[in-house]
Amino acid sequence: MISGGGTGGHIYPAIAIANAWREKYPSSKILFVGASGKMEMQKVPDAGYKIKGLPVAGLQRSFSLENLKFPFKLLSSLMKASKIVSDFRPDVVVGVGGYASGPVLFAAQRKGIPTLVQEQNSYAGLTNKILAKRAKKICVAYPDMDRFFPADRISYTGNPVRKDILDLAGKREKAITHFALEAEKKTLLVLGGSLGARTLNQAVLNDMAKLDEAGYQVIWQCGKYYYKEMKKKTQEAGFSCIHLREFIREMDLAYAAADVIVSRAGALSVSELSLVGKPVIFIPSPNVAEDHQTKNAMAYVQHDAAWLLKDAEAIGQLENKVDLLMKDAKVSGILGENIKKLAKPNAAIAIVEEIEGLIA
């Protein structure tokens, strides 16, 4: 049983773990448990797995009447999670973070079923810190996580990522055709996540003319929330260098085409980009718990494996940073080499081996 979700950063590693397990044990039964109404309720079935939903939801940071429902949703989720665990009778339960993982792992631990926590970030979330106290194994993506978890139960596995990005060799020509790019121009890839990032979008809008004048082309994933607005503004501007996408499904091709990448610093993005091995400018979101995106990015910056541009400084400074990397092959090469050294390409397999150890 695998539980958690809420964002792609939780869901895609969970699916990668399930895929690695199913590849080795094709006759196994795998059940996901997520939060009703969240994206896992669509993404998991799309990947070929069954999922059950819990009514659990988080507390709103600002005052909201929804917070009055929180105790009732939590109690209901705990009861439902207990029944799901009893009915499915899993040999092991994996929690990947997100609202649903709390009730499910809590129920499993009370029933004596071994649990494994997979922490994607460099700064552990509150739920995982609580669950880890009774978990048999904690799989982490960054070193020095004994600040949060018992050292004797930590396994430094990395974050599981999609298989298609493990080998980008020979894909650039196909990528050029797919995105209708010009082969002789250098390419900037801008990633704001599936929902989008306002600051990144405003920064690109602000610097479109400069990027065009410099001769660069931009593959720009602006996100679901901003697509209509960005499409209108880019059409009005009329720059042929901009290749706008709401969402990019063919990420392997986008990475293959890119010379420089600008991205938020969510755990999954950071892990994927370490495998890609190209120069990256991280612009961490300031709107996440414990500012963990900045901590994720700094874990790479301190190894000279990426650059960091603060969210508050991105609008007006993006093109200058991109231009420096585009023109300085030596610096770009060092960043690409160093970020590749931090990659964990076999993370899903390593986590499967840890699960095997809990069942044996």
Annotated binding-site residues for UDP-N-acetyl-alpha-D-glucosamine read 7-9, 121, 162, 194, 248, 267-272, 293
**What's the N-to-C CA distance of the chain in angstroms?**
16
Per-residue CA distances from 147 to 10, 202, 287, 325 (Å) = 22, 37, 23, 34
Which phi-psi region, left, alpha or beta, contains residue 314 (left: φ > 0; alpha: ψ -120 to 50)?
Answer: alpha
Phi, psi of 135 (to 5 degrees): -75, 150
Would you call 49 helix, strand, or coil by DSSP?
A: coil
Instruction: Let me know: does 7 contact 37? Beta carbons within 8 Å.
Output: no
The tokens for 122 are 């460099």
The tokens for 231 are 């499409």
Annotated binding-site members: 7-9, 121, 162, 194, 248, 267-272, 293
Instruction: Let me know: does 316 contact 272? Beta carbons within 8 Å.
Output: no
Which phi-psi region, left, alpha or beta, contains residue 172 (left: φ > 0; alpha: ψ -120 to 50)?
Answer: alpha
Q: Which residue has the tokens 């080795």?
A: 24
Distance of CA 222 to the CA centre of its chain: 16
Would you call 195 helix, strand, or coil by DSSP?
A: coil
CA 132 – CA 94 distance, rounded (Å): 11
Distance of CA 336 to the CA centre of its chain: 19
Radius of gyration in angstroms for the set of CA atoms belonging to the chain, rounded to a whole number: 21
